[in-house]
Chains A and B, each alone.
Chain A
């Protein structure tokens, strides 16, 4: 089965330093749910940056939605980015927009009419438990509330791939469970999900998920210790 995300011998180097990511080869099937773990500095965020097209690799091949994104013309990137939802580790909410407007941003960027935006945005804000805070600016929200706004923004446009960097890092266990339930529901609707986390307990909450462990920029032990490790392109050959 062709992967929605394919990495072949991907390496990433910032400037002239050592490679942050080396020889990454894996294949994520459409509709898969992958947890990405590893110690701090293992390269999880760098890998996610490659996934959400904030960065091009220094070497290797990356195919997203069947297209080689390494050589993809810059003008075509926005179309691909609209198919990917991102929950940033530092949330990256726009400080002068309300929670409502932050959540509505992907829909506005996609060119949806204002009257079509209101209902899904209100439903999403309600779902993440912020119905009474929709007019609040990020600075007046707690860390957990900001994280929920960031998650609502990432999923509002029903992305084909959802990439989340420590999405439950600032929320209580109950909210973490609810967010994972949301991710799982999206996954069941066909969204491919990649979640970078330090919290190994999350893995047990999504039984059909697979695990990818990074260590010093490489996928560590892809055969033994990992549960349902992602398939490499070589496996499909």
Chain B
């Protein structure tokens, strides 16, 4: 008796159903984990650097360093009047002497007498964006009416920090590129190994009339799947850590540390990384396979 068993046609792969190389998704997951963390750090530092520049670039402090309290007071009033008159000055406020005494209290003790130790008067000044390049002009105008005035640019104090942030930002970018290169080399090795393992199948497919592109497509599909799987695993791990770190940093309450945060659109850029990694792996696999097949008749 013949038992009728309908054949279920299926779109069959021409390579084994198992993945080309077991560790590839995990290697890519580790690479993507490190890449996302590095990219997030780079974006955070970029944001911090921008925040720092925006916060300090337009801010100056004028100190009236005069021992005679009368002269000091007269020059302070003149400087304040001049600053408020100047174009480009958004705000010019004298720092409360009580606040200054409070700042010195840890070193000089409570009940500080301004007559005993003369303290300079200080004026906080905010400039508009246009005026930031004209600090020297502002300083000259202040000194014309208050000869004992010293003008300090806040940006100067934090210039080394800004340079360090810029260096770290470029370092992060370099690391991302190095990891992309390492991923590409890993894919080259995996694709070559896959080609070697499946050489008999490839020979048969060639003799049946398969083109190099058809064969390369089989490999690039499989490697793309592995790369996407690994990329998403790596991204998920890194995203979790970025979120946790973000909460910890926010919890510190420091203005400077708080500025190290992902900018708007940062997450979109990060989520594009696994997709970019997959595209890179696919393109590398395709080029590797086509190059290798070109040496076979």
B99 CB within 8 Å of chain A = no
Q: Does A7 contact B (CB under 8 A)?
A: no
* A161 to B: closest C-beta gap in Å: 13
Given A54-B297, A96-B17, A106 contacting B11 (CB threshold 8 A): no
Answer yes or no: B106 CB below 8 A from chain A CBs: no
A86 within 8 A of B: yes
Chain B interface residue bracket vs A: 20 to 34
Asked whether B73 is an interface residue with its Cβ less than 8 Å from the other chain, the reply is no
Stretch at the interface among A15-23, A39-47, A73-81, A221-229: A73-81
Residue of B nearest to A80 (CB): B209
Please give, as numbers and ranges, the residues of chain B lying within 8 Å of A117 by CB-CB distance: 9
A158 touches B (CB below 8 Å) = no
Instruction: Decide if B297 touches A100 in the complex (CB within 8 Å).
Output: no
> Is the pair B210, A109 in contact by a Cβ cutoff of 8 Å?
yes
In the complex, B85 has a CB within 8 A of chain A: no
Q: State whether B209 touches A106 (Cβ < 8 A).
A: yes
Given contacts A56-B297, A122-B7, contact A104 B12 (CB under 8 A): yes
* B17, A106: Cβ atoms closer than 8 Å: no
Name B297's contact: one of A55, A92, A105 (CB within 8 Å): A55
Whether A109 touches B297, Cβ cut-off 8 Å, given contacts A114-B11, A122-B7, is no
B55-72: contact bitstring with A at CB < 8 Å (1 yes, 0 no)? 000000000000000000
Residues of B within 8 A of A106 (CB): 208-209
Q: Report the minimum CB–CB distance from B202 to chain A (whole Å).
A: 10
Closest to B18 in A: A96
Q: How far is the CA of A55 from the CA of B205 in the complex (A)?
A: 15
User: Is chain B's binding surface mostly helix, strand, loop or mixed?
Assistant: loop
B201 contacts chain A at the CB level, 8 A cutoff: yes
CA distance A94 to B200 in the complex (A): 8
Task: Please give, as numbers and ranges, the residues of chain B lying within 8 Å of A101 by CB-CB distance.
Answer: 10, 12
Check B207 for interface membership: any CB of A closer than 8 A.
Answer: yes
Across the interface, name the chain B residue whose C-beta is closest to A153: B208
Q: Are A77 and B9 in contact (CB under 8 A)?
A: no
Beta-carbon contacts under 8 Å, B209-252 to A: 209-211, 214
CB neighbors of B among A104-131 (8 A): 104-106, 108-110, 114, 117-118, 122
Are B201 and A81 in contact, with the CB atoms below 8 A? no
Is there contact, CB below 8 Å, between B201 and A54? no
Query: What is the CA–CA distance of A101 and B9 in the complex, to the nearest angstrom?
Result: 9
Interface string of B104-120 (1 = CB under 8 A from A): 00000000000000000
Interface size for A (C-beta < 8 A) is: 34
Chain B residues near A122 (CB, 8 Å)?
7
B86 at the interface (CB under 8 A from A): no
Is residue A210 contacting chain B, with contact meaning CB distance below 8 A?
no
Q: Which of B2, B5, B205 interacts with A109 by CB under 8 Å?
A: B205
Rounded to whole angstroms, the CA-CA distance of A179 and B205 in the bound complex is 23
Query: What are the residues of chain B within 8 A of A109 when measuring CB–CB?
Result: 205, 208-210, 214
In the assembled complex, the CB of B221 is this many whole angstroms from the nearest CB of chain A, namely 14
Contact status A81-B16, CB under 8 Å: no
With a cutoff of 8 Å between Cβ atoms, the chain B residues found around residue A216 in the complex are: none
List, in ascending order, chain A residues with CB within 8 A of B272's CB.
none
A102 to B14, CA, bound (A): 9
Please report which residues of chain B, range 1-59, place their CB below 8 angstroms from some CB of chain A when the two chains form the complex: 2, 5, 7, 9-12, 14-17
Q: Is B204 an interface residue (CB 8 A)?
A: yes
Bound form: Cα–Cα A106–B17 in Å: 19
Nearest CB of chain A from residue B124's CB, rounded to whole Å = 74
The 7 closest A-B pairs by CB, nearest first: A82-B209, A81-B209, A101-B12, A96-B16, A118-B9, A109-B210, A78-B209
Selected A-B contacts with CB under 8 Å, 23 pairs: A54-B203, A56-B297, A74-B294, A74-B297, A78-B206, A78-B210, A82-B208, A82-B209, A86-B207, A86-B208, A92-B200, A94-B201, A97-B12, A100-B7, A101-B10, A101-B12, A105-B204, A106-B208, A108-B12, A109-B214, A110-B209, A117-B9, A118-B7
B interface with A by C-beta (< 8 Å): 2, 5, 7, 9-12, 14-17, 200-201, 203-211, 214, 294, 297
**A residues adjacent to B (C-beta < 8 A):** 52-56, 74, 77-82, 86, 92, 94, 96-98, 100-101, 104-106, 108-110, 114, 117-118, 122, 132, 134-135, 153
